[in-house]
A and B are shown apart, each in its own frame.
Chain A
Amino acid sequence: QVQLQESGPGLVKPSQTLSLTCTVSGGSISSDTYYWNWIRQPAGKGLEWIGRIYPSGSTHYNPSLMSRVTISIDTSKNQFSLKLSSVTAADTAVYYCASVGYCRGGICHKEFAFWGQGTLVTVSS
């Protein structure tokens, strides 16, 4: 069973870059069985998909954030990371990493079956 854990600063100043890391255990991040996502949720609001990365390094981003987002993968550490630049108060949210349940034969199932516990990032001076 895959387990995920987010880490990173809880406070970021406006205009700076938010950086978070998700550490994966119980599975190999380089396996084509999974792909890896970032999702966020402002307090009291709904969920917003930020983007995902495949073991190959290929990415898909939400167009609403694409100009500011970079997701990368470090197979040596079994981690993937999120960078969000030029942050404002609107980027204050709980950030989750999540993975699909499994992929087989190029088809993936159980979207967001595994989640980290989430980490609150506040943008404030």
Chain B
Amino acid sequence: DIHMTQSPSSLSASIGDRVTLTCRASQSIAGYLNWFQQKPGKAPKLLIYETSSLESGVPSRFSGSGSGTDFTLTISSLQPEDFGSYYCQQSHSVPLTFGGGSKVEIK
């Protein structure tokens, strides 16, 4: 199985801050990395697919980058509605696996 490690596990940031979340795969997954946002009591929502493609309707302040084993999700200017948990997920090989999540709180 490909193990996904996210950091930090939690962070608190102010409105307008630039926030960077990282995700590391235990082996190369090429560009098959997706990012999800989840709010309490809700299903996850796809933000970024295949490392850097922005899902339709997702604000452009979200961006993704990386390759191989190291990936990042950046929120260029944190907004109040960006609180929640963020998960990375590899779709390179079965079993599909998720990172443990990064919880973003607004200061």
Contact = CB atoms under 8 A, between A and B. Distances in A.
Interface of A: 37, 46-49, 52, 60-64, 96, 98, 101, 109-113, 115-118
- The listed residue with most A CB atoms (<10 A of its CB), out of B46, B55, B91, B95, is B95
B95 A62 contact: yes
Contacts of A113: 46, 49, 55
In the A-B complex, list the 10 residue pairs whose CB atoms are closest, starting with the nearest.
Answer: A115-B43, A111-B91, A49-B96, A62-B95, A47-B98, A60-B94, A110-B49, A46-B100, A113-B46, A111-B34
A112 B89 contact: yes
B99 interface: yes
DSSP majority for the B interface? loop
Chain B interface size range: 20 to 34
A118 B43 contact: yes
Contacts, number: 55
Nearest to B4: A46
Interface of B: 1, 34, 36, 42-46, 49-50, 55, 87, 89, 91, 94-101
A101 B87 CA distance: 18
A66 to B, nearest CB: 9
